[in-house]
A = this chain, B = another copy of it.
Amino acid sequence: MSAAVLDHPVNTSANIGRLRDFVTALAALLDRTSDEAEILDKGGALLGDLVAHDDWLPDAFAAPSPERYQQYLLHCDSAERFSVVSFVWGPGQGTPIHDHTVWGLVGVLRGREESQGFRRQSDGTVAPEGPPLSLNPGEVEALNPAHGDIHQVRNALADTPSISIHVYGANIGAVRRSTFAPGGEAKLFISGYANALVPNLWDRSK
């Protein structure tokens, strides 16, 4: 790989400063509190502001793959206190049933996403809990492991990609967590990331 690709004007048409401002504001929030309810409340408001505008995500981090949904890391905190990920859903794509083990926030940037909550039953199986949640651009879902954090997410649109921005209380690509078969069987799951390069948010001269 030559260096030329690093110099590509990937960010110049994108208002990447919005993402930088979100990252610095979330870091300041985490410096002030470790109360998860407060993090989800105030962090959710910050994420709501971010996904209310669709002018900042560089195209490369918005590209669907025909094979599966894409998880592009956008930023990971130095101490892995949090990570920000762009989820890009092609038509018909979705996740297996899965948990997170850390706090999470999901904000829809483009298209529409459907999230179905699940709860572990006493017999070990998982069963849907409540109706599916439909999220439109600008809307945010909070996931709190203390109150159950098992769900299944899919693109609600049959013919267009959808994009949601996820924020987690860890380096989510490295977290040991679980997927669940409909029967309830848990399987170890470490998601990793689709991208070897993340955007440079930090050039304030641009």
Chain A residues with a Cβ under 8 A of chain B: 1-3, 5-12, 23-24, 26-28, 31, 58-61, 63, 65, 70, 72-73, 75-83, 171, 173-174, 190, 192-206
A196→B6 contact, CB < 8 A:
yes
Taking a contact as CB atoms closer than 8 A, the residue among B60, B80, B200 that contacts A6 in the complex is B60
Q: A6-B61, A58-B1, A173-B205 are in contact. Are A198 and B196 (CB under 8 A)?
A: no
Give the CA-CA distance A190 to B10 in the complex, in Å.
Answer: 21
* Known A6-B197, A7-B194, A73-B202; further 8 A-B contacts with Cβ < 8 A: A1-B60, A3-B72, A11-B196, A73-B200, A80-B202, A193-B202, A193-B203, A196-B199
On chain B, the residues within 8 Å of A81 by CB distance are 78
A65→B198 contact, CB < 8 A:
no
Taking a contact as CB atoms closer than 8 A, the residue among B65, B77, B200 that contacts A196 in the complex is B200
On chain B, the residues within 8 Å of A202 by CB distance are 73, 76, 80, 83, 171, 173-174, 193
Q: Is the interface of A mostly helix, strand, loop or mixed?
A: loop
A72 to chain B, nearest CB (A): 7
A79→B5 contact, CB < 8 A:
no
Query: In the complex, which residue of chain B has the Cβ closest to the Cβ of A59?
Result: B1
In the complex, 20 of the A-B residue pairs with CB atoms within 8 angstroms, ordered by the A residue number, are: A1-B10, A2-B60, A3-B195, A6-B61, A6-B197, A7-B195, A7-B196, A10-B197, A24-B78, A24-B80, A26-B78, A73-B202, A78-B78, A80-B202, A174-B202, A174-B203, A196-B199, A197-B198, A197-B199, A197-B200
